[in-house]
Structure 1
Amino acid sequence: MPNTTLPSATSHPITEDDIANYLVNTPDFFERHAQLLATVQLSSPHNPRAVSLQERQANLLREKIKMLELRIMDMIRNVNDNMVLSDKLLQWARTLFLHTDRASLPALMADELASQFGVPQVGIKVWGVSPAYAQADFAQGVSQDAKSFISSLTEPFCGVNSGLEAITWLPDPQAAVSIAILPLREGVTGSVAPAFGLLVLASPDAQRFNSTMGTDFLARVAELASAALAPLR
């Protein structure tokens, strides 16, 4: 006669997973046994005493609320920082487009970038200019290799000073530890049109222009600078 005895709890002990699965699949268990919730005691991560399940849940909820508050504060700070940058960018652009002396525009552009955004050093070169500006300092001293390299950049480059030619255009090349190179060309960032100029920003702080930073803001600076300098060509 076949054995029809059910497996015993000893041969097949109930595991924690069995209990967890039962509770998950029996949502009304604690409704039928509400008194159990008041008796459940859990260890607290903040002190050695045991706390009730309700208190532990309240603590977890408070921690979650605190984390959300911190994230909201970070978002507010980022929004405020972005608004300040946007205001400075608009002021910089306004200054450029109201300036009527084209010959002094590159120098003004560099000076305003340095003062508005706190950049220690700014250099600028423009080539392919009209004969009226061909002898200006900003149109001199750029090798063909440098022009080819700059034209190969489709977006701003940030990183450590690696001895590029553009560093020699700065007032104090030895103090340039991190740099940002902004190619100037017709069209928006990403265009493959040949560059007709370059802005180089430099700082003694190695992290000011590091290789992991976003370049969207620098791309907008390059587009505005390109538009302002176009009449020199």
Structure 2
Amino acid sequence: MHSEQVLAFLDEHPEFLQQHAARFSLQASPQNGERVVSFVERQLLELKDHNRQLEAQLQQLAERAQTNERIVAKLHQLTLAQLAHRGLKQQIAALKHSLGEEFQLNRVALRLWHPGAEAETEHYNAQNEVQGLARNLAAPYCGPYVNDEVMSWFPAIPVLQSFAQVALRDAGGQAFGLLVLASDDAQRFTFDMHTQYLSQIGELLSASLLATLEAK
């Protein structure tokens, strides 16, 4: 059957498409049972719906890009703060200040067991338990759990709900310190969050502190 014959048949029997609307993915008008949505109109509706989905995805990507740009800018400020200070005590103070100012992280604990940090008693901790914890961190840990030793580094109030633990390593991969960030917000550090920026903070701090520790 040729296309002209099909069209002629539909002209003579307009009720055909109405009767078989479901088979051809057509929709009848609820006000008028004689009208059906054409194939072209159906395709236009589908294209509009697809475009709305694409616009929503594009908006999400744009928002994510803006968030990443803000984080990169904050990391840059943290880096500048580390470069601007000399001396272990000053570098640690600058780190805590930057994390508070740039990332609103005011509960920060740092422990080192490098020989060059022995004089910095507030931040020196050579316990095997702590060293073992850092050695086992192949990547930053994020979640609600820390051991009793780490918990003791923070005040009892407010009650902390989530933590990030980042190992500090030398060029050979040996851990010489542990950075712990804490929050009373259970959603601040979660198991499923990306840890790329935490890793970069760990690498930055490792290089900055190690340069000072090795110079002693």
The TM tier, using the shorter chain, reads 0.7 to 0.9
Q: Give the alignment of 1:41-190 within 5 angstroms.
A: 42-43=26-27, 48=30, 50-130=36-116, 133-172=117-156, 175-187=159-171
Give the direction of change, closer, same or farther, for the CA distance of 1:97–1:171 in structure 2 (3 Å limit). farther
Residue in structure 2 matched with residue 194 of structure 1 by the alignment: 174
- Letter of the structure 1 residue corresponding to residue 142 of structure 2: C
Residue in structure 2 matched with residue 207 of structure 1 by the alignment: 187
Partner of 2:115, secondary structure, is coil
Cα deviations by residue, 1:64-100 (Å, 9 ceiling, x for unpaired): 0000011111111111111111011011101111112
Give the direction of change, closer, same or farther, for the CA distance of 1:141–1:128 in structure 2 (3 Å limit). closer
For the Cα contact (< 8 Å) 2:141–2:164, is it kept in 1? yes
Displacement of 1:141 in angstroms is 4.1
The TM-score, its normalising length taken from structure 2, stands at: 0.80
- Letter of the structure 2 residue corresponding to residue 232 of structure 1: L
The 2-side partners of 1:110 and 1:210 are apart by 21
- Letter of the structure 2 residue corresponding to residue 154 of structure 1: A
For the Cα contact (< 8 Å) 2:162–2:186, is it kept in 1? yes
The 1-side partners of 2:200 and 2:5 are apart by 63
For the Cα contact (< 8 Å) 2:146–2:163, is it kept in 1? no
Count of residue correspondences: 197
Cα deviations by residue, 1:113-155 (Å, 9 ceiling, x for unpaired): 122112241111111132xx42323433452111112112111
The 2-side partners of 1:92 and 1:31 are apart by 73
Partner of 1:137, secondary structure, is coil
The 2-side partners of 1:55 and 1:183 are apart by 59
Partner of 2:190, secondary structure, is coil
The 2-side partners of 1:125 and 1:32 are apart by 85
Q: Which structure is larger by alpha-carbon Rg, 1 or 2?
A: 1
The 2-side partners of 1:178 and 1:32 are apart by 72
For the Cα contact (< 8 Å) 2:77–2:98, is it kept in 1? no
Displacement of 1:104 in angstroms is 2.2
- Structure 1 position 232 matched with structure 2 position 192: no
Return the match for 2:201 from 221, 225, 231. 221
For the Cα contact (< 8 Å) 1:126–1:138, is it kept in 2? no
Give the direction of change, closer, same or farther, for the CA distance of 1:80–1:182 in structure 2 (3 Å limit). same
Instruction: Provide structure 2 residue ranges, at least 5 long, that are not aligned to the other structure.
Output: none
What percentage of aligned pairs have identical amino acids?
28
